[in-house]
């Protein structure tokens, strides 16, 4: 057999090898349709069953502290319950006499195709989610098991596309990794793969589907973005040795002692967690988090027709603080707009929603939304170390407007006789270039900075992180992004303000030394990433980290920066 290597995008880290399963979800034939009433009953039962399954996926991920991955399935449940989708499927059953499986698949495909035609990257990307949901309903109605039917032994799956539900349903012991002809790094499938630790490569092109059909064994490298068909015996032995080393390292990390973390030369680096629920906060504590660096509050507002009241918000903050008694809890105020929408707050149609009404801009223009949250935070601060983090800040004027609202919230609590904290730290997200460029002024008024590398990258590089067409341009290690981070850190430190990094880079141990060298004081990441980041901090020498940072800031490209990074053992 001839050895051939295909190169795509490194979507989820890790190494995998084994037989190749070329998977085509296709359309399983449905049973002939019965009477419309019978078909509608079957359809409703199938939807209910899929909803239960997806809810179980969501809860399992939340219990594991995987907030971002869980929200994928929360969104899938919203799609599944979409009245327009269900009404269209019902009409096809009743008016056209279509079987339930065909009717739902057709209705979903119509909706997905409409979204793909829209000049809106986020909505177009939702088409893949609709198709994934539709496949699950069809599997129930036809008795098909999808990918699971083909995964009878440990293998690497090769397909044009995979849905998040197919990943969750596949036994982890059998799904060694996957390679896709299509897809982008920010797809829900890739986000889930990273959260589940499934090695993945995407964007290989359709030629891989034909080529892999005749391959006996494949080797996938999710770190370099390569898929090798029929590797030589020597290469296969190297791959398998790396797999064993990774498993040994993972076991070592899980059993590593907790406690304060220092670099090899004694520099203190605080490790915090990004969470959205009490279950995730519990996982954070179990993994040794020294506090919460980012509590996302959007989940409390999503998937409900009304806004949560002050008491509901206070209950969430108490529950989170109870999981980490005595430790700091940094709460980001409501951050919606862009790709996050609230049923209770219809957002206007905008040509560029990521550049429009989102983040703190909504809170400042709708104080009836922000004030209850500020009151709840002040009340929670009477019993816990609560800190407030403001999203999408671009100027000192916005920060001062929030401080004025905070004073108003205090006056309201005093008038109501409610117990609350006298003072609270207020920080700002550095996630747009203007904030980094205004860092000197912001540092005089803010108590701390938190750098959000995901948005900072897309705004700096004018590259929508959800758009697969420009996925190769989305480079968090681009020197331009790093220079803004260094600028913000330097300004903060001149005023004695600590800097946390809470974007995706915070959970990447290979980048830890660079971040420390740039001046980051605290790293906040998903709970499950804490052990690997802890080990990376402990392996870092501050002087070497600064040298890496200096070279990175002088680099010309993200590729040059990556070449500077130390290999994580």
According to DSSP, the residues that pair with 428 across neighbouring strands are 390, 449
Position 120 pLDDT exceeds 60: no
Distance CA(339)–CA(72), nearest Å, equals: 13
For helices 479-494 and 542-553, the axis angle rounded to 10 degrees is 130
Position 503 pLDDT exceeds 90: no
Of 179, 318, 224, 313, give the one whose Cα is nearest residue 510: 224
According to the model, what pLDDT value does residue 114 have?
84
According to the model, what pLDDT value does residue 463 have?
82
CB 26 within 8 A of CB 229: no
Mean pLDDT of 68-80: 88
Of 179, 184, 174, give the one whose Cα is nearest residue 213: 179
According to the model, what pLDDT value does residue 306 have?
81
According to the model, what pLDDT value does residue 35 have?
87
Mean pLDDT of 18-29: 79
- Looking at domain 36-142, does it have CATH number 1.20.272.10? no
Which CATH number among 3.20.20.140, 3.40.50.11900, 3.20.20.60, 3.40.50.150 corresponds to the domain 256-564? Answer: 3.20.20.60
Domain positions in the chain: 4-25+147-252, 36-142, 256-564
According to the model, what pLDDT value does residue 336 have?
77
339-343, 491-495, 525-529, 533-537: which is most confident: 491-495
Position 569 pLDDT exceeds 50: no
* Better-scored residue on pLDDT, 32 or 273: 273
Q: What is the mean pLDDT of the chain?
A: 88
Position 268 pLDDT exceeds 80: yes
* Better-scored residue on pLDDT, 496 or 303: 496
Position 29 pLDDT exceeds 80: no
According to the model, what pLDDT value does residue 309 have?
93
Position 95 pLDDT exceeds 60: yes
- Cβ neighbors of 77 (< 8 A, separation 6 or more) are 51, 54, 55, 58, 303
According to the model, what pLDDT value does residue 125 have?
62
> Where is average pLDDT lowest: 85-94, 218-227, 477-486?
218-227
Position 261 pLDDT exceeds 90: yes
Mean pLDDT of 38-49: 93
> Where is average pLDDT lowest: 5-14, 336-345, 424-433?
336-345
- Cβ neighbors of 51 (< 8 A, separation 6 or more) are 77, 80, 81
* Better-scored residue on pLDDT, 32 or 535: 535
Give the tens place of pLDDT for each residue, 153-163: 999 999 998 88
Give the tens place of pLDDT for each residue, 525-564: 988 788 889 999 999 999 999 999 999 999 999 999 999 9
Position 113 pLDDT exceeds 70: yes
C-alpha atoms less than 13 angstroms from C-alpha of 525 in its C-beta half-sphere? 22
| Active site amino acids | 188, 502
Position 350 pLDDT exceeds 60: no
> Where is average pLDDT lowest: 271-275, 338-342, 395-399, 428-432?
338-342
* Better-scored residue on pLDDT, 242 or 409: 409
* Better-scored residue on pLDDT, 397 or 183: 397
One-letter-per-residue 3-state SS of 397-422: HHHHHHHHHHHHHHHHHHHHCCCCCC
According to DSSP, the residues that pair with 427 across neighbouring strands are 389, 448
Of 136, 179, 138, give the one whose Cα is nearest residue 161: 179
- Looking at domain 4-25+147-252, does it have CATH number 3.50.30.10? yes
Distance CA(381)–CA(388), nearest Å, equals: 10
Mean pLDDT of 300-326: 88
């Amino acid at each position: 057999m001839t050895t051939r290597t295909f190169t795509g995008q490194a979507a989820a880290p890790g190494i995998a090898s084994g037989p190749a399963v070329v998977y085509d979800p296709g359309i399983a034939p449905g049973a002939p349709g019965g009477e419309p009433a019978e078909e509608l009953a079957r359809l409703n039962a199938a939807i209910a069953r899929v909803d239960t399954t997806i809810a179980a996926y969501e809860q399992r991920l939340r219990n594991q502290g995987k907030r971002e991955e869980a929200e994928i399935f929360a969104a899938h449940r919203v799609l599944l319950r979409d009245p327009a989708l269900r009404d269209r499927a019902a009409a096809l059953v009743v008016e056209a006499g279509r079987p339930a499986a065909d009717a739902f698949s057709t209705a979903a495909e119509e909706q997905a195709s409409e979204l793909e035609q829209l000049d809106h990257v986020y909505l177009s990307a939702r088409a893949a989610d609709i198709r994934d949901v539709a496949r699950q309903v069809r599997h129930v109605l036809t008795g098909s098991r999808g990918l699971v039917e083909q995964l009878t032994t440990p293998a690497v799956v090769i397909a044009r596309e995979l849905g998040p539900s197919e990943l969750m349903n596949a036994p982890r012991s059998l799904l060694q990794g996957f390679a896709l002809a299509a897809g982008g790094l920010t797809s829900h499938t890739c986000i889930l793969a990273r959260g589940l630790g499934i090695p993945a490569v995407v964007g290989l092109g359709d030629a891989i589907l034909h080529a892999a059909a005749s391959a006996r064994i494949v080797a996938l490298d999710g770190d370099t973005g390569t898929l090798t068909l029929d590797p030589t015996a020597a290469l296969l032995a190297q791959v398998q040795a790396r797999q064993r080393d990774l498993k040994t390292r993972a076991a070592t990390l899980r059993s590593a002692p907790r406690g304060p973390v220092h670099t090899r030369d004694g520099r203190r680096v605080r490790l915090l967690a990004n969470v959205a629920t009490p279950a995730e906060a519990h996982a954070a504590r179990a993994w040794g988090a020294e506090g919460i660096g980012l509590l996302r509050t959007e989940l409390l507002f999503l998937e409900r027709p009304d806004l949560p009241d002050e008491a509901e918000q206070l209950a969430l903050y108490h529950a989170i603080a109870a999981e980490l008694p005595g430790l700091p809890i940094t709460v980001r105020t409501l951050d919606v707009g862009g790709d996050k929408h609230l049923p209770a707050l219809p957002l206007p149609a905008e040509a560029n929603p990521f550049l429009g009404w989102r983040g703190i801009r909504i809170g400042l223009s709708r104080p009836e939304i922000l004030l209850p949250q500020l009151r709840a935070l002040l009340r929670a601060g009477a019993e816990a170390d609560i800190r407030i983090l403001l999203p999408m800040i671009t100027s000192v004027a916005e920060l001062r407007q929030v401080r004025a609202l905070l004073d108003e919230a205090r006056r309201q609590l005093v008038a109501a006789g409610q117990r609350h904290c006298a003072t609270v730290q207020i920080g700002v997200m550095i996630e747009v270039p203007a904030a980094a460029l205004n860092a000197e002024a912001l540092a005089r008024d803010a108590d701390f900075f938190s750098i959000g590398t995901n948005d900072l990258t897309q705004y700096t590089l004018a590259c929508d992180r959800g758009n697969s067409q420009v996925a190769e341009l989305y480079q968090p290690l681009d020197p331009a992004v790093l220079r803004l981070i260094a600028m913000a850190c330097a300004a903060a430190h001149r005023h004695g303000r600590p800097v946390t990094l809470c974007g995706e880079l915070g959970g990447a141990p290979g980048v830890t030394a660079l971040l420390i060298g740039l001046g980051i004081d605290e790293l906040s990441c998903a709970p499950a990433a804490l052990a690997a980041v802890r080990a990376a901090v402990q392996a870092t020498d501050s002087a070497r980290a600064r040298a890496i940072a200096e070279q990175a800031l002088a680099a010309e490209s993200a590729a040059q920066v990556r070449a500077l990074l130390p290999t994580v053992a």
